[in-house]
Amino acid sequence: MMVMAVFSVDPDPDVCTDYCANPINYAKSVDNYIIQLRKEYRTFNVELGQSGAGLQYEDMPEGSNMYNLVQRLLKDFPYWKRLHGFWHMIPNFNPLTASSGPNQNLVAEAIALIQSRGASCATQNDNDDDDDDSDPQDNDKNPVAGNSQKAKGKQTYQDAFVDETKAETMALANLASDKHICRMAELEIKKQRMAFEAEGKHLEAKERLTAARHQCEHEKEKHDLEMLHLQLQYQGAGIPGQPAAMGQFGAETFSAEPFADSSAFGNLGMDNYNM
């Protein structure tokens, strides 16, 4: 949102158009730039030590050892003066002297600081505009110089606004966004775990159903084989009511028709035992 406030109103229409087409690229670029600034800012404070990092630049006596050290370090990192005004009381940027208490609202403090700095910059810019309007003859005499002064004042205000929004973006990102991202990641992991567990339970139920179906089929085949075996045993024993061939064959074999004429058997017996 802070990146949009800067680039969506850029004086260059090409920048505005490109930002609207690729807002994520601008956000990543600004974020990377702020991370680099924080790294150099913290390195600067390490050189100053705890006592120097806790002082404002205006509070350093001119000509003192700390003042001279700051002047030497500013040659390599000139942005420290502006950044120190915003970041010197934020632990994530200046851990040497700042610490966060349990009841301290760092986000609100950072926003209040940025708003106060923005209001002072806006007041200064209005005063510059009043000065330009109060001397129209001077501007007419030197129009190029007048336009350059307006452009310079506008650019200075824009640079200040960019620095303010960068500081606010970084504070909000470190104090709120990381926590939100972690929370969303935890929810996503929990959601995936629940999905995997549900899928595992579904597969287990499907496997149990398949095993039960196979068991039923096996029991049915076993029952059919036992019934067939019993039927074959009944047929072999010639049990009445069984129409199989073996039963009929057994009945015909032991029929009484061959012994209908018993006289021959009786005569034969009498002849054999005739006295």
Pair of tokens at residue 199: 């899928």
Contact call for residues 23 and 32 (beta carbons, < 8 A) = no
Per-residue pLDDT at 215: 92
For the chain, what is the domain count? 1
Q: Which residue has 């899928």 as its token pair?
A: 199
SS3 2: helix
Query: What is the residue type of 251?
Result: A
| Domain annotation covers residue 272 | no
| Domain annotation covers residue 65 | yes
Ranges of residues in the chain with a pLDDT under 70 are: 1-2, 97-169, 171-179, 238-275
Query: What is the residue type of 172?
Result: L
Q: 20 is in which domain, residue-wise? A: 2-200
Contact call for residues 3 and 27 (beta carbons, < 8 A) = yes
Per-residue pLDDT at 7: 80
Rounded distance between C-alpha atoms, residue 109 and residue 88, angstroms = 12
Rounded distance between C-alpha atoms, residue 250 and residue 242, angstroms = 12
| Domain annotation covers residue 150 | yes
Per-residue pLDDT at 238: 62
Per-residue pLDDT at 250: 45
Per-residue pLDDT at 227: 92
Pair of tokens at residue 22: 């690729």
Residues 23-44: b if buried by 16+ CB within 10 A, e if exposed: eeebbeebbeebeebbeebbeb
Per-residue pLDDT at 73: 92
Rounded distance between C-alpha atoms, residue 218 and residue 262, angstroms = 58
The CB density around residue 48, as the number of other CB atoms within 10 Å, is 20
Phi/psi at 213 (5° precision): -65, -45
Greatest extent of the chain over all pairs of C-alpha atoms, in Å: 183
| Domain annotation covers residue 185 | yes
pLDDT tens digits for range 124-163: 555 555 554 445 444 444 444 444 444 444 445 456 556 6
Please give the span between the terminal C-alpha atoms of the chain, in angstroms, as a whole number: 142
| Domain annotation covers residue 142 | yes
Per-residue pLDDT at 139: 47
| Domain annotation covers residue 257 | no
| Domain annotation covers residue 29 | yes
| Domain annotation covers residue 129 | yes
Query: What is the residue type of 170?
Result: M
